């Protein structure tokens, strides 16, 4: 065996705290190593050329690169050795950067540790076997979870690219949060006017199939071949008959249903179509408020409906769809105002949230676009906006910035002046975050042209005084306490992940952060990919972001899928579990432990039952390996022998 080792300086990243020359020198003494050298940037083009040449010149049959994390460049170097004629699994990477040079300061100690790590990699590479991936056919349909602006953009781009798309939207209509907005910053264009046509496109696109008021029950399979169980929740209205005429809604006697679309600004009917531009424009019954359900009698809508669409007996329906890739675009939620008791949201009716205010501004909202106080329906003259209401507040577990509220506060303050010319708006802020294109100009306009009074400081308390609300806060620029008597207070409540975010993540086998936002594969270089191949992210489910960024991600995710589906087949990763049928006793413990359901039982010709791995489903996690009492199931490229060789290299010298 002829092993070659390439030790990278990575500029000063590695060479700064590791004596790379000495590592090379010591490496040369390892039996089996015939060549060891150092290089400034091994991943650069000349660096890779050097490896290829050395393979030919020195007759190398195994290669070790001691450099950064394999997550960074393992694929790069596997391709390099493959181009020089070696099997790509005859390559190992020793991580001497993230694991050593970046974390330790003692050069002598680091150098010795690097030598150990290289020795382990050499021991492992000498045990490596050639592995070959096989190709499998793919189903080129796409599932988009969530029909907000990000999901819609992704669906339209995929469909325009020729792929069939299935959208599963949890609520009654697509549109997400953007459908609730009045105008959008920084151009103040009407939100539904730019979103509505897109919604219609989604509905009419021949390649898009929409399941509204539906949820994902189960996801099985792997990239290229997923089976998805979709639960079409009972709406108690047969949507194939419903024409969206709204007659039922007019006559329904139950008038106090909670209006989810309007965030409870005003009550709605127990049967309703959430907003005029809803897609699909179909009615749905809320059984928590419908008298037929709560009292057992009513039936008004059934009598009224001209197409006899009402069906009180309707049950959830389960549908299975087969797709090859998934885009998760499930968006975000907002904190409840009662998480901020010092502001009295929920206790004082005239303390409302930003999204509720958005509905008050909206011409198709519950007040037809007239700004009025919830308490007495009077027009407010003094409006106070509180930014970072819950955001950037470690004490309630939300240390992050909600990203878009500084901007929408400026927008809402401008719109307030447009609606009520003799009004005065105040904004309490920590700092104004407006780094987008045209954004800073926009917040300045609010101050300079619209006379919005910005006060730098936090609000400590809001309390009622007669018909007014006193907002007490600090003005940290003046160094004093200020109190403003407001008619209406708007809280820019913090953005949080959806309640079911973690639950969905487990179904999708993707990771989420401490706050429930989905984690991308690389924060800079792979922003819409996840670590599960075939699953992509778009929009605010990955972290708070505004419409332009959400749309950008939607398109990016679509283009990733179009690239993924550019051929007819995909290559499988051969580093999966494999069963040695001679050693397997058929206890099937591995079948139970495999989190991906990748192991099946198989009957051999002699009637013996053994375990069998479905190569394309196995994610290579290795749980089965440690479960098997006989050592019969082995993860390829991480076999017991390979790992033991590494341990021995470290311990037996």
Ligand X SMILES: Cc1cc2nc3c(=O)[nH]c(=O)nc-3n(C[C@H](O)[C@H](O)[C@H](O)COP(=O)(O)OP(=O)(O)OC[C@H]3O[C@@H](n4cnc5c(N)ncnc54)[C@H](O)[C@@H]3O)c2cc1C
Give the residues lining the site for ligand SF4 (CB under 6 A): 387-388, 391-392, 401-403, 405-406, 430, 433, 492, 579, 584-590, 610-611, 627-628, 630, 632-633
Contact between 161 and another protein per CB under 8 A: no
| Residue 506 binding result from ligand SF4, ligand X, another protein, none, given CB thresholds of 5 to 8 Å by partner type | none
The one among 342, 431, 441, 571 contacting another protein by CB under 8 A: 342
Q: Please compute Rg for the chain using Cα positions.
A: 30
The mark string for 604-643 relative to ligand X (x by CB under 6 A, - otherwise) is: ----------------------------------------
- Closest C-alpha among 329, 271, 277 to residue 300: 271
| Residue 401 binding result from ligand SF4, ligand X, another protein, none, given CB thresholds of 5 to 8 Å by partner type | ligand SF4
Q: Which of residues 317-346 bind ligand X (CB under 6 A)?
A: 329-332
- Closest C-alpha among 70, 94, 72, 145 to residue 650: 94
| Residue 261 binding result from another protein, ligand SF4, ligand X, none, given CB thresholds of 5 to 8 Å by partner type | none
Contact between 341 and another protein per CB under 8 A: yes
Q: How far apart are CA 179 and CA 275, in angstroms?
A: 9
Helices (H), ranges, 165-307: 191-204, 247-251, 291-294, 300-304
The DSSP H or E segment spanning 562 is: helix 547-564
Contact between 104 and another protein per CB under 8 A: no
| Residue 465 binding result from ligand X, another protein, ligand SF4, none, given CB thresholds of 5 to 8 Å by partner type | another protein
Q: In terms of CB distance, is 268 or 634 closer to ligand SF4?
A: 634
Token reading at 406: 């500084």
Token reading at 273: 């179509």
Q: In terms of CB distance, is 354 or 366 closer to ligand SF4?
A: 354
CB of 488 to ligand SF4, least distance (A): 18
Q: How far apart are CA 309 and CA 318, in angstroms?
A: 20
Q: Are 149 and 539 in contact (CB under 8 A)?
A: yes
Total residues at interface with ligand X (CB under 6 A): 39
CB of 469 to another protein, least distance (A): 10
The phi, psi pair for 307, rounded to 5°, reads -105, 10
Token reading at 341: 């008791």
Token reading at 497: 């992940």
Q: How far apart are CA 51 and CA 292, in angstroms?
A: 76
Q: How far apart are CA 533 and CA 171, in angstroms?
A: 27
Q: How far apart are CA 470 and CA 443, in angstroms?
A: 25
Q: In terms of CB distance, is 1 or 396 closer to another protein?
A: 396
Contact between 547 and ligand X per CB under 6 A: yes
* C-alpha distances out from residue 16 to 44, 106, 653, Å: 19, 10, 27
Q: Which of helix, strand or coil describes residue 394?
A: helix
Contact between 29 and another protein per CB under 8 A: no
Q: In terms of CB distance, is 101 or 330 closer to ligand X?
A: 330
Total residues at interface with another protein (CB under 8 A): 9
CB of 341 to another protein, least distance (A): 4
CB of 573 to ligand SF4, least distance (A): 20
Contact between 120 and ligand X per CB under 6 A: no
Contact between 347 and another protein per CB under 8 A: yes
The one among 166, 504, 505, 649 contacting ligand X by CB under 6 A: 504
The phi, psi pair for 319, rounded to 5°, reads -125, 140
Stretch that binds ligand X, among 40-48, 147-155, 297-305, 418-426 (CB under 6 A): 147-155
Contact between 463 and another protein per CB under 8 A: yes
The phi, psi pair for 613, rounded to 5°, reads -95, 130
Contact between 299 and another protein per CB under 8 A: no
613 contact partners, CB below 8 Å, separation of at least 6: 576, 577, 578, 579, 598, 599, 633
Q: How far apart are CA 325 and CA 565, in angstroms?
A: 9
- Closest C-alpha among 459, 432, 453 to residue 443: 432
Residues in the chain: 653
Q: In terms of CB distance, is 118 or 471 closer to ligand SF4?
A: 471
Binding site for another protein (CB under 8 A): 341-342, 344, 347, 461, 463-466
Residues that bind ligand X (CB under 6 A): 145-151, 168-171, 176-178, 181, 184-185, 215-216, 329-332, 354-355, 358, 404, 408, 411, 498, 500, 504, 539-540, 545-548, 550
């Amino acid at each position: 065996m002829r092993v070659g080792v390439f030790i990278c300086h990575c500029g000063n990243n590695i060479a700064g705290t590791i004596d790379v020359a000495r590592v090379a020198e010591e490496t040369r003494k390892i039996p089996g190593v015939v060549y060891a050298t150092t290089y400034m940037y091994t991943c650069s083009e000349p660096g890779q050329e050097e490896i290829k040449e050395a393979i030919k010149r020195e007759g190398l049959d195994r290669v070790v690169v001691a450099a950064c994390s394999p997550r960074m460049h393992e694929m790069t170097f596997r391709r390099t050795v493959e181009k020089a004629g070696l099997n790509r699994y005859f390559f190992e990477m020793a991580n001497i950067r993230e694991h050593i040079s970046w974390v330790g300061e003692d050069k002598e100690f680091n150098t010795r540790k690097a030598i150990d790590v290289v020795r382990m990699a050499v021991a492992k590479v000498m045990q490596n076997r050639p592995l070959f991936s096989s190709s499998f056919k793919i189903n080129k349909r796409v599932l988009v979870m969530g029909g907000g602006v990000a999901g819609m953009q992704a669906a339209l781009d995929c469909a325009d690219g020729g792929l069939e798309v299935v959208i599963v939207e949890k609520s009654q209509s697509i549109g997400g949060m953007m459908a609730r907005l009045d105008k959008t910053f920084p151009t103040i264009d009407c939100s539904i006017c730019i979103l509505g046509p897109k919604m219609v496109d989604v509905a009419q696109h021949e390649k898009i199939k929409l399941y509204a008021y539906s949820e994902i029950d189960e996801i099985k399979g792997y990239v290229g071949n997923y089976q998805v169980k979709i639960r079409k929740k009972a709406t108690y209205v047969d949507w194939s008959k419903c024409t969206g005429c709204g007659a039922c809604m007019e006559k329904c006697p139950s008038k106090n249903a909670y209006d989810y679309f309007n965030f409870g600004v005003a009550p709605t009917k127990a049967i309703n179509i959430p907003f005029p531009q809803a897609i699909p424009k179909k009615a749905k019954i809320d059984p928590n408020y419908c008298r037929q359900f709560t009292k057992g009698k009513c039936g008004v809508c059934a009598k009224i409906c001209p197409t006899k669409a009402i069906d009180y007996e309707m049950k959830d329906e389960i549908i299975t769809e087969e797709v090859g890739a998934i885009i998760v675009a499930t968006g975000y939620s907002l904190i409840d105002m009662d998480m901020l008791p010092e502001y009295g949201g929920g206790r004082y009716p005239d303390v409302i949230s930003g999204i509720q205010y958005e509905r008050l501004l909206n011409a198709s909202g519950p007040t037809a676009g007239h700004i009025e106080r919830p308490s007495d329906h009077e027009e407010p003259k003094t409006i106070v906006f509180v930014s970072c209401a819950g955001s950037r507040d470690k004490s309630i577990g939300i240390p992050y910035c909600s990203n878009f509220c500084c901007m929408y506060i400026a927008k809402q303050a401008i719109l307030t002046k447009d609606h009520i010319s003799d009004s005065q708006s105040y904004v309490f802020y920590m700092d104004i975050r407006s780094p987008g294109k045209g954004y800073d100009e926009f917040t300045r306009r609010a101050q300079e042209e619209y006379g919005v009074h910005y006060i730098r400081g936090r609000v400590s308390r809001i309390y009622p005084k007669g018909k007014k609300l006193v907002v007490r806060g600090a003005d940290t620029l003046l160094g004093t306490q200020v109190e403003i008597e407001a008619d209406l207070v708007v809280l820019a409540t913090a953005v949080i992940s959806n309640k079911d975010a973690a639950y969905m993540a487990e179904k999708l086998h993707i990771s989420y952060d401490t706050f429930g936002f989905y984690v991308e594969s690389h924060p800079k270089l792979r922003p819409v990919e996840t670590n599960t191949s075939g699953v992509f992210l778009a929009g605010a489910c990955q972290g708070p972001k505004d419409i332009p960024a959400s749309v950008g991600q939607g398109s990016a995710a679509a283009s990733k899928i179009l690239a993924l589906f550019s051929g007819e087949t995909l290559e499988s990763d051969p580093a999966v579990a494999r069963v040695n049928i001679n050693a397997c006793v058929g206890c099937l413990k591995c079948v139970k432990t495999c989190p991906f359901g990748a192991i099946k039982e198989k009957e051999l010709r002699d009637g013996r039952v053994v375990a069998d791995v479905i190569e394309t489903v196995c994610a290579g996690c290795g749980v089965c390996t440690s479960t098997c009492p006989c050592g019969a199931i082995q993860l390829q490229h991480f076999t017991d022998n390979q790992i033991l060789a590494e341990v021995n290299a470290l311990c037996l010298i």
